[in-house]
């Protein structure tokens, strides 16, 4: 089977969606699927240099190929005419395309090309069909959806959702395309040698509360920071690590940093910026709690990464795997309200033994349900049903 994975960028600066495509491609390749990833050299939206990669040449990586194309003419929107020309020429050499992202010009155009070339395709919306996300730039998205995305959705073989909850709430714009619900996967990280507590001056007995995600308004930092300030005012002992960046909105990232520096949290907070590799793994493994109180989150790959490391999570009931976390007793669930989030954090921080129990539950659940091997098997079965 020959499969295309099409995504606007796989730069790690864009976070979870990039990691998912690479993880899925590697897992599929390990089970005999011939995978080619089509993507651009985009590496951030605020003037960063593009990825230093060969262009329009096959790059071998973990058993699959990546073809990078120059962003042109619209670099800000990760668009590439060359990618679309290549797809138009080679589409009939493949059995299926798995297209990641809606409301992204290169993905939108790729679906149109696939449809015109009679190449079956699956669309993964990455949360963009969530009503909360659609409210952003509402009028523009309604026009975009009517003219471009509705025909793409109608022509897709399936829409790939990563949780039942995401599928349940997502807008379809009147189309009847079948749902394909398969979660994202994570690889258990090897024990990291990075001594993060020493590096950041965090005492070994002080609970470490970790936020690791894009610094974006939807992630609920306007709930988390007041909640942590309340706990600190009560005398609760902890150290907060804020890890992440936002290449698309550096002004908001700066606002959050200034908010921390002007608050009681300043002496109990470490701001790391973007982290990856061993430092990222070490932070997740060292954390006593992982927190993500998002206003909407179609999956939350960082939550799954924390779970597989054995770190219990405190998430909002708008992170769409919250029911799984609740049922597995793998963490605590809060509504998107400061008082309730404060209470859930308080409960977790006051009971170290319960934290450890839920962390073990989290790891067990993640290993059983979010392993790339199992997810690749489900995906291959879906691919076969669609392409044959």
pLDDT band of residue 28 (cuts 50, 70, 90) is very high
Give pLDDT, residue 286.
96
Strands 34-40 and 2-6: parallel
**pLDDT above 70 for 75:** no
**Does residue 13 carry a pLDDT above 90?**
no
Indicate the burial class of 324 (C-beta count within 10 angstroms; 0-12, 13-18, 19 or more).
Answer: buried
For residues 84 and 318, what is the distance between their CA atoms, to the nearest angstrom?
35
β-strand partners of 160: 180
pLDDT score of 55 more than 90? yes
Query: CA 260, 266, 269, 270 torsion: positive or negative?
Result: positive
pLDDT class of 97 with cuts at 50, 70, 90 = very high
Instruction: Name every residue whose Cβ is closer than 8 Å to that of residue 60 and which is 6 or more positions away in sequence.
Output: none
What is the value of pTM for the model shown?
Answer: 0.88
Class of the CATH-defined domain 2-185+371-387: alpha beta
Picking from 171, 126, 136, the residue whose alpha carbon sits closest to that of residue 7 is 126
Where exactly does CATH 3.40.50.2000 map onto the chain? Answer: 2-185+371-387, 196-369
Answer whether residue 77 shows pLDDT above 80.
no
Q: What pLDDT is stored for residue 18 in this prediction?
A: 75
Query: For the chain, what is the HEC assignment?
Result: CEEEEECCCCCHHHCHHHHHHHHHHHHHHHCCCEEEEEEECCCCCCCCCCCCCCECCCEEECCEEEEEECCECCHHHCCEHHHHHHHHHHHHHCCEEEEECCCCHHHHHHHHHHHHCCCCEEEECCCCCCHHHHCCCHHHHHHHHHHHHHHHHHHCCEEEECCHHHHHHCCCCCCCCCEEECCCCECCCCCCCCCHHHHHCCCCCCCEEEEECCCCHHHCHHHHHHHHHHHHHHCCCCEEEEECCCCCCHHHHHHHHHHHHCCHHHHHEEEEECCCHHHHHHHHHHCCEEEECCCCECCCHHHHHHHHCCCCEEEECCECCHHHHHHCCCEEEECCCHHHHHHHHHHHHHCHHHHHHHHHHHHHHHHHHCEHHHHHHHHHHHHHHHHC
**pLDDT given for residue 45 in this prediction:** 67
Cis peptide, bond prior to residue 73, ω within 30 of zero: yes
Pairing verdict, β 59-61 and 64-69: antiparallel
- How much is the average pLDDT of 346-374? 95
Q: Which tokens in the block code for residue 367? A: 């290993």
| Mean pLDDT within 145-169 | 92
Pick the CATH number of 196-369 from 3.40.50.2000, 3.30.470.10, 3.40.50.10470, 3.30.70.890: 3.40.50.2000
Say what the pLDDT of residue 241 is. 98
Per-residue pLDDT, 127: 87
Convert the pLDDT of each residue in 314-324 to its tens digit: 999 999 999 99
* Average per-residue pLDDT for the chain: 93
Cα 328 to the center of its chain, rounded Å: 21
Q: Terminal CA-to-CA distance of the chain, rounded, Å?
A: 10
* pLDDT tens column, 177-212: 999 999 999 988 888 888 999 999 999 999 999 999
Cβ atoms of 314 and 302 within 8 Å: the answer is no
Average pLDDT of the residues in 338-367:
97
């Amino acid at each position: 089977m020959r499969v295309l994975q099409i995504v606007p960028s796989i730069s790690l600066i864009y976070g979870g969606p990039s990691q998912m495509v690479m993880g899925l491609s590697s897992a599929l390749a390990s089970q005999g699927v011939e995978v080619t990833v089509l993507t651009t050299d985009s590496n951030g939206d605020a003037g960063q240099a593009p990825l230093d990669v060969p262009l329009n040449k096959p790059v071998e990586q973990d058993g699959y190929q990546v073809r990078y194309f120059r962003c042109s003419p619209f670099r800000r929107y990760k668009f590439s005419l060359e990618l679309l020309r290549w797809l138009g020429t080679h589409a009939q050499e493949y059995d299926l395309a798995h297209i990641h992202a809606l409301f992204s010009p290169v993905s939108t155009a790729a679906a149109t090309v696939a449809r015109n070339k009679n190449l079956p395709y699956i669309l993964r919306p990455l949360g963009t069909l969530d009503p909360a996300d659609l409210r952003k730039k509402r009028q523009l998205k309604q026009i975009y959806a009517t003219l471009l995305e509705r025909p793409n959705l109608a022509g897709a073989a399936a829409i790939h959702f990563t949780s039942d909850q995401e599928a349940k709430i997502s807008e379809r714009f009147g189309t009847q395309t079948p749902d394909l619900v398969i979660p994202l996967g994570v690889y258990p990280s090897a024990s990291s040698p990075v001594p993060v507590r020493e590096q950041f001056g965090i005492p070994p007995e002080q609970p470490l509360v970790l936020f690791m995600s894009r610094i974006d308004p939807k992630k609920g930092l306007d709930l988390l920071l007041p909640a942590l300030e309340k706990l600190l005012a009560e005398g609760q002992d902890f150290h907060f690590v804020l890890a992440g960046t936002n290449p698309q909105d550096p002004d908001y990232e700066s606002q959050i940093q200034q908010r921390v520096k002007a608050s009681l949290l300043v002496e109990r907070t470490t701001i790391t910026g973007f982290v990856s590799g061993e430092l990222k793994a070490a932070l997740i493994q060292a954390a006593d709690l992982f927190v993500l109180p998002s206003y909407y989150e179609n999956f939350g790959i960082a939550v799954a990464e924390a779970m597989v490391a054995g770190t219990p999570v405190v998430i909002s009931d708008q992170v769409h795997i919250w029911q799984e976390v609740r049922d597995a007793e793998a963490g605590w669930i809060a509504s998107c309200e400061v008082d309730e989030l404060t209470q859930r954090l308080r409960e977790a921080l006051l009971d170290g033994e319960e934290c450890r129990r839920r962390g073990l539950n989290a790891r067990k659940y993640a290993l059983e349900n979010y392993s790339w091997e199992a997810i690749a098997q489900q995906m291959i079965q879906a691919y076969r049903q669609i392409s044959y």
